[in-house]
């Protein structure tokens, strides 16, 4: 079960309480669900009762008890406990982690991507001809497209050819670079809004619909082609969101690091932090976060090969003592959406480190030891390990970094 599904379940309990007249509040758009903090219990916790208490005119614990009675009726929970001033602590049935693993394995590296090809937002990324800005813009384009957005990138100046040939940074719009010109669709002109990524996170921007939208694929304009595929207008679209990408410049040349380490060195620090060039990005030890992420992925692939040699395969099921990993995997769609919204690829990089660090304690228990026969628990742990590797590979791919099966 993902955090989005948990949030939906909590909001459904709020809606039932409102419909039945026990609460007089406006149902919020989302309920924050996260691993419990100090003093909490269970698998997840939510502060929705504290959020609603003032509007309901009741103490937070009273609101929490009203919601607890409805959440206990959900088959996915084994227990719901109220702690502190009114936190709701949720304990999931064992099948919840199995459902999450099934979803990840079904969607593969596209887990966390938008379900539809286009969300209706056209984003114009602009960046100076500076290596870190170009790599960040390229990565943001990848993440935004994963969330269904149509993206075009414009560079103020000519990027060095090595930034593409070595670092894989393509600041073109699926074809020749789009010049700074007005772009007219078959409906109405695309409007711009400027937001600048300079270190502080870019706030969310309201976007107004102003006529037909440009889809990710098959789009045709009245003027010059903007993609190397023909594009047709498909229904209403929102106005362009202009984003200027201008992180703190790299203090040195990342090209000697190669593509993977060079991109990580530029993307892992927040935009307002100065990257370390060359740093220890090529060192294969635990102090190197890139090594930990890629090593964890390679371990999951090795376990799948070894399990196949032993004659058993992954099968999702309940896994004990893996709450941190399940929580991190369930949080992946939210992290991708937040990375796209706030234009912060460092958020995704840090999340991958969290997933890798949570996966490592599980991996030694995946394969049977000695004369032990593979059991349902081994198959479930193998499936969870495969799901972790899938999320790591998908996240690294969005960062433009390879996820090798052997390391």
CA dist 307 and 316 (Å) reads: 15
Which pLDDT score is estimated for 180?
A: 35
CA dist 265 and 252 (Å) reads: 11
Which pLDDT score is estimated for 13?
A: 94
Mean pLDDT over the full length of the chain: 83
* Tens of pLDDT, residues 9-59: 999 999 999 999 999 999 998 899 988 888 888 888 999 999 999 999 999
Q: What's the whole-number mean pLDDT along residues 204-224? A: 37
Which pLDDT score is estimated for 228?
A: 35
Instruction: Check whether 177 has a pLDDT greater than 80.
Output: no
Q: What's the whole-number mean pLDDT along residues 388-398? A: 98
- Are 330 and 90 a contacting pair, CB within 8 Å? no
Lowest mean pLDDT among 129-138, 239-248, 265-274: 239-248
CA atoms within 13 A on the CB side of 314: 24
Which pLDDT score is estimated for 207?
A: 34
Q: What's the whole-number mean pLDDT along residues 372-382? A: 93
Residue 333: cis peptide before it, omega within 30 degrees of 0: no
Which pLDDT score is estimated for 117?
A: 57
- Are 137 and 245 a contacting pair, CB within 8 Å? yes
Which of the four pLDDT bands, split at 50, 70 and 90, describes residue 133? Answer: very high
Which of the four pLDDT bands, split at 50, 70 and 90, describes residue 94? Answer: low
Q: What's the whole-number mean pLDDT along residues 244-255? A: 95
Instruction: Check whether 208 has a pLDDT greater than 60.
Output: no
Supply the angle between the helices 332-342 and 345-359 in degrees, to the nearest 10.
160
């Amino acid at each position: 079960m993902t955090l989005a599904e948990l949030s939906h379940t909590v909001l459904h309990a709020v809606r039932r309480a409102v419909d039945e007249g026990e609460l007089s509040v406006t149902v919020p758009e989302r309920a924050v669900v996260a691993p419990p903090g100090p003093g909490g219990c269970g698998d997840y916790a939510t502060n929705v009762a504290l959020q609603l208490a003032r509007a309901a005119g009741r103490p937070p614990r009273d609101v929490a008890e009203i919601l607890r009675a409805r959440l206990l009726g959900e088959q996915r929970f084994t227990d719901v406990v109220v702690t502190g001033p009114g936190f709701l602590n949720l304990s999931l049935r064992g099948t919840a982690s199995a459902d999450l693993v099934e979803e990840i394995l079904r969607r593969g590296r596209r887990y966390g991507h938008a379900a539809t090809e286009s969300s209706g937002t056209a984003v114009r990324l602009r960046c100076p001809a500076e290596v870190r800005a170009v790599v960040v813009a390229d990565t943001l384009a990848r993440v935004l497209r994963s969330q269904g957005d149509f993206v075009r990138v414009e560079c103020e100046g000519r990027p060095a050819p090595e930034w593409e040939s070595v670092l894989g940074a393509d600041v073109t719009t699926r074809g020749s670079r789009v010049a700074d010109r007005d772009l007219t669709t078959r409906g109405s002109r695309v409007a711009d809004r400027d937001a600048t990524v300079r270190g502080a996170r870019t706030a969310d921007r309201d976007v107004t619909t102003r006529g037909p939208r440009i889809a990710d694929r098959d789009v045709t304009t009245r003027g010059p082609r903007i993609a190397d595929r023909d594009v047709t207008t498909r229904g209403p679209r929102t106005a362009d969101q202009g984003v200027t990408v201008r992180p703190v410049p790299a203090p040195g040349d990342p090209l000697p690091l190669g593509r993977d380490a060079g991109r990580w060195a530029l993307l892992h620090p927040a935009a307002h932090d100065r990257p370390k060039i060359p740093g220890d990005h090529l060192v294969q030890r635990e102090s190197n976060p890139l090594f930990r992420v890629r090593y964890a992925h390679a371990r999951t692939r090795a376990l799948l090969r070894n399990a196949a040699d032993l004659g058993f395969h992954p099968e999702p099921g309940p896994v004990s003592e893996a709450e941190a990993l399940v929580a991190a995997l369930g949080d992946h769609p939210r992290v991708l959406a937040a990375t796209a919204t706030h234009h912060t690829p460092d958020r995704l990089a840090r999340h991958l480190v969290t997933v890798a660090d949570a996966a490592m304690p599980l991996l030694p228990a995946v394969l049977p030891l000695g004369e032990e026969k593979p059991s349902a628990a081994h198959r479930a742990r193998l499936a969870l390990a495969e799901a972790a590797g899938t999320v790591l590979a998908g996240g690294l791919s969005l960062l433009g970094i390879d996820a090798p099966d052997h390391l």
